[in-house]
Structure 1
Amino acid sequence: MSLAFIVCLVAVFALAAIGTPIGYSLLVAATLYLAVDGADLALAAEQLIQSIYDGYTLLAVPLFIIAANIMNAGTVSERLLTFCVAVVGRFRGGMGHVNILSSLIFSGMSGSAVADAAGIGKIITEMMVKTGHYSRGYAAAVTAASATIGPIIPPSIPMVMYALISNQSIGYLFLAGILPGLLMGFMLMSMNYVISWRRDIPVEAPTPLRDAPGITIRAFPALMMPVILLSGIYGGATTPTEAAAIAALYALMLATGLYRSLRLREFYRVVVDSARQAATVGIVIGCALIFNYIVATERIPQMLSTYMADLDISPLMFLLAMNLLILGLGCLLDATTIILVVLPLFIPTANVLGIDLIHFGVVMVVNAMIGLITPPYGMLLFVINAVTGIPLRDIIVNVLPFLFALLLALVALTVFPDISLMIPRYFGYHG
């Protein structure tokens, strides 16, 4: 490890510690590395431009962002919530189940945990509180926990990022997220049921069966979006990036044509907000790619692979150690940084140990999503606090049981690779 790289690492942590956005921290640190190493400073710009220019799959990120924002601005979210109330609202802890089910469905459209929490999550939190059966902190905690499912069930922005750094198929990664996402939803619903039973939360009045067909018909066009996306990708008609464009167009057609709930002024605001969010993510991605170039130059992944091979560590022990590392980093860093900066260091080691990289990616992405609700700096906790005004302390206290439920799901995914790989193998994956 050279002096230049040590200076680079010190700069990253020092700048991040004083509150500098992680993208800018990486850019400044990379520039310092090149300066100390005596290299041409223009290499930073060259790597940034070349990596993004070659990264066709990155176009899926802003397209999924705008699709989610269009659905939040229109009445798509409300129609989905009404459908979820009709399906699971009749059980004990019904509105909590509605919250989780709505995240499962919405995740098949947005691919973003933040979009889920800030959009449909805000609505369902208010609905839970209005019943008078749930505290504000509990409603916010269920919303934050269920939003972690968003980037697991396809489409998934973090899966796109992992595909970029690992050269794995986005299609197979999307398929590998289906069962893990459902497992996470099941664990959260089970915990919600147990808490509701212990607190003796009353059962909600069921939706009359005669209203069910009408509710389903009104929600049906929105429910078809995941079907259209996945059938296009796995039927060979579209690439994942093209599917993201179709998702954005379909959301726009629903909001402006069928539901007529998105006006021109609101659409302008959606485009501006989406551009800002995409730019923020783009800065982090671009600067992380520069940093990854430096890491590759220093041969850090190869050094780690050799070290792990000498330790003769088993694949399971490596995965468990990685889980502990990512969970710890999740308390301090956002998921994008973990996926783009930390995981490239360990992918070669996972490959050497014979760990399937699709399975490895799913486990690590699930782990990074759990980090979004891990105190003290879980991003989703702050997002829910910002959009609802519910005190952060109340959210953290109530989110801990759901954090435990998600950790159980993570252990199951780590120990049993077939949970992730069953569906991809059915569609021809041979890993």
Structure 2
Amino acid sequence: MSEGLWVLLGVFTVTAILGAPLGLSMLASGFAYLIATHQDVGLVVDQTMNGLYNSYLLIAVPLFIFVANIMNASGVIERLLAFGAAMVGHLPGGLAQVNVVSNLIFSGMSGSAVADASGPGLVVARMMTKNDRYPRGFAATTSVVSATLGPLMPTSIPMIFYALIANASVGAMFLGGLVPAGIMAIALMIVIAIIARRRKFPREARVSWAETPAIFGRAILPLALPGILLGLIYSGVTTPTEAAAIAASYALILAFVVFQTMRPSQLLTVMSDTVRATSMIVLIMAGAFVFNYAVANEGVPQLIQSTFMSWNLSATGFLVCVNILMLTLTIVLDEVTLLLVIVPLLVPIAQSLGVDLVHFGIVVVLNMMVGLTLPPHGLLLFVMSGLTGTPLAEIFREVPPFIAAMLGIVFLVTFFPDLALWLPRLAGLVQP
């Protein structure tokens, strides 16, 4: 290993151990590498950051975060929950089933697992633990696993990042995630039903046919948002970024004009939350770009590629290795860092083995979502523990059956690419 690579890894390790944010750790180690190798820091940073500042696609990220924050603040979630309860509340597990369905619906507006967890996930978890109807560990766990559906649906922020990195179609990625998301939701609902029957959890009263039209009517405008987004993108009327801007405008109109559930003072809070979330992402991206330059300059991608190729792996064998690698790395790295640092090293190998990049992207995102639920460091475990006041140990006890089901879906999509590619092919976005 060269002196420069030692400096890069050494500074990154020390700053990470000291508790610095990952974005700052990558920036510091990248700058230290440039200085140690006597390179023009200003020139290199200007070249590497050019893609960050000039990417039109990335504007969609803060817009989708803004949409999620508006929906959370405006009380739209209650309308979606009532709709979800009318659909599946009578099934075994009642409110836990509603948790899955409402997260699936809300994910078409947020694109973020954390937004889903802190939105419908938190509301349903509180409903479940009211009057001790469900154990708080089980309630928090169903919110954790349900929130993983968000990044598999259109408006997915991880898919936007992946499309930028792999030069893949955002539209194809959005469509590619729909079938896996649906299968994942069904798998989670089956696990909930089995657990509910064994532990005799309550069901909700079945909603009468007479009440259904009114419930649907209250939810139809928020429910229309994902359809509007998909229609705009796949009809060619707008780009994904323009569709995100329209979605943000639509959310504002619902909140202030149609439902009148938000005040101007709340908008300032929503905007500041959006800026904070976006700033964190941009910091990680800036650090990742400089860090990746150093890694590429040291020939690490070529080394990794030659190592994989020397194993004579098939495309499927490579994807299995990627599953193991991604699930392992999610223990220590967040999803944005994985996408920006690790995935660029793997995309060329996937291409050389003939793996469709849309299929590869869906497999990567699936792995990252499972990683968010893995003890002891899964981010969503800590988010829900903090939001609900549930001890982590109680969530850890409840989550294994759900992880097993989710891992089954990961490998199902790995071995059957058509689950991710059928809809994009149908839309003409992927070659047959």
Question: Corresponding residue for 1:313?
Answer: 313
User: Post-superposition shift, 1:200?
Assistant: 1.6
Question: Corresponding residue for 1:245?
Answer: 245
| Equivalent runs, 1:201-212 vs 2, <5 Å | 201-212=201-212
Question: Corresponding residue for 2:400?
Answer: 400
Q: Which moved more, 1:52-61 or 1:406-415?
A: 52-61
The percentage of aligned residue pairs carrying the same residue is 45
Question: Corresponding residue for 1:5?
Answer: 5
User: Post-superposition shift, 1:211?
Assistant: 0.9
Q: Give CA deviations for 1:46-67 in whole Å, capped at 9, x if unaligned.
A: 1454121222111111000010
| Equivalent runs, 1:49-88 vs 2, <5 Å | 49-88=49-88
User: Post-superposition shift, 1:249?
Assistant: 1.0
Question: Corresponding residue for 1:193?
Answer: 193
Inter-partner Cα distance in structure 1 for 2:425 and 2:86: 34
The alignment's C-alpha RMSD in Å is 1.3
Letter in 2 for 1:404: A
User: Post-superposition shift, 1:99?
Assistant: 0.1
Matched, 1:270 2:270: yes
User: Post-superposition shift, 1:18?
Assistant: 2.6
Decide whether the 8 Å contact of 1:48 with 1:287 is kept in 2: no
Over 4 Å off, 4+ runs:
none
Q: Give CA deviations for 1:300-323 in whole Å, capped at 9, x if unaligned.
A: 222322222222111111111111
Q: Which moved more, 1:374-383 or 1:139-148?
A: 374-383
Q: Give CA deviations for 1:2-21 in whole Å, capped at 9, x if unaligned.
A: 32123212322332233211
Q: Give CA deviations for 1:68-98 in whole Å, capped at 9, x if unaligned.
A: 0000000211100010001100111111110
Matched, 1:343 2:361: no
Which secondary structure does the structure 1 equivalent of 2:4 belong to?
A: helix
Decide whether the 8 Å contact of 2:49 with 2:289 is kept in 1: no
Q: Which moved more, 1:230-239 or 1:392-401?
A: 392-401
Inter-partner Cα distance in structure 1 for 2:120 and 2:203: 22
Which secondary structure does the structure 1 equivalent of 2:151 belong to?
A: coil
Inter-partner Cα distance in structure 2 for 1:405 and 1:133: 25
Question: Corresponding residue for 1:215?
Answer: 215
Letter in 1 for 2:197: W
Question: Corresponding residue for 2:431?
Answer: 430
User: Post-superposition shift, 1:400?
Assistant: 1.7
Letter in 1 for 2:117: A
Question: Corresponding residue for 1:328?
Answer: 328
Which secondary structure does the structure 1 equivalent of 2:399 belong to?
A: helix
**Unpaired segments of 5 or more residues in structure 2?**
none
Question: Corresponding residue for 1:165?
Answer: 165
Decide whether the 8 Å contact of 1:191 with 1:402 is kept in 2: yes
Decide whether the 8 Å contact of 2:385 with 2:392 is kept in 1: yes
Question: Corresponding residue for 1:103?
Answer: 103
User: Post-superposition shift, 1:131?
Assistant: 5.7
Which secondary structure does the structure 2 equivalent of 1:119 belong to?
A: helix
Count of residue pairs brought into register by the alignment: 431
Letter in 2 for 1:155: T
Inter-partner Cα distance in structure 1 for 2:169 and 2:293: 22
Inter-partner Cα distance in structure 2 for 1:172 and 1:404: 28
- Output the TM-score relative to the length of structure 1: 0.97
Letter in 1 for 2:385: N
User: Post-superposition shift, 1:133?
Assistant: 2.8
User: Post-superposition shift, 1:44?
Assistant: 4.9
Matched, 1:120 2:120: yes
- Output the TM-score relative to the length of structure 2: 0.97
Letter in 1 for 2:431: H
Decide whether the 8 Å contact of 1:116 with 1:147 is kept in 2: yes
Inter-partner Cα distance in structure 1 for 2:171 and 2:203: 40
Which secondary structure does the structure 1 equivalent of 2:261 belong to?
A: coil
Question: Corresponding residue for 2:354?
Answer: 354
Which secondary structure does the structure 1 equivalent of 2:161 belong to?
A: helix
Question: Corresponding residue for 1:254?
Answer: 254
Q: Which moved more, 1:413-422 or 1:299-308?
A: 299-308
Question: Corresponding residue for 1:143?
Answer: 143
Inter-partner Cα distance in structure 2 for 1:48 and 1:76: 40
Letter in 1 for 2:177: G
Question: Corresponding residue for 1:153?
Answer: 153
Inter-partner Cα distance in structure 1 for 2:207 and 2:331: 40
Question: Corresponding residue for 1:181?
Answer: 181
**Residues 154, 131 of structure 1: alpha-carbon distance in 2 compared, 3 angstrom cutoff:** farther
Decide whether the 8 Å contact of 1:159 with 1:170 is kept in 2: yes
Decide whether the 8 Å contact of 1:75 with 1:261 is kept in 2: yes
Decide whether the 8 Å contact of 2:48 with 2:293 is kept in 1: no
Decide whether the 8 Å contact of 2:292 with 2:341 is kept in 1: yes
Q: Which moved more, 1:124-133 or 1:113-122?
A: 124-133
Letter in 1 for 2:103: S
Which secondary structure does the structure 2 equivalent of 1:209 belong to?
A: coil
Inter-partner Cα distance in structure 1 for 2:48 and 2:124: 40
Decide whether the 8 Å contact of 2:137 with 2:395 is kept in 1: yes
Q: Give CA deviations for 1:207-239 in whole Å, capped at 9, x if unaligned.
A: 222111000001000000000000000000111
Question: Corresponding residue for 1:130?
Answer: 130
Which secondary structure does the structure 1 equivalent of 2:67 belong to?
A: helix
Letter in 2 for 1:90: H
Question: Corresponding residue for 2:387?
Answer: 387
Question: Corresponding residue for 1:420?
Answer: 420
Letter in 1 for 2:259: Y
Inter-partner Cα distance in structure 2 for 1:6 and 1:103: 44
Inter-partner Cα distance in structure 2 for 1:73 and 1:407: 33
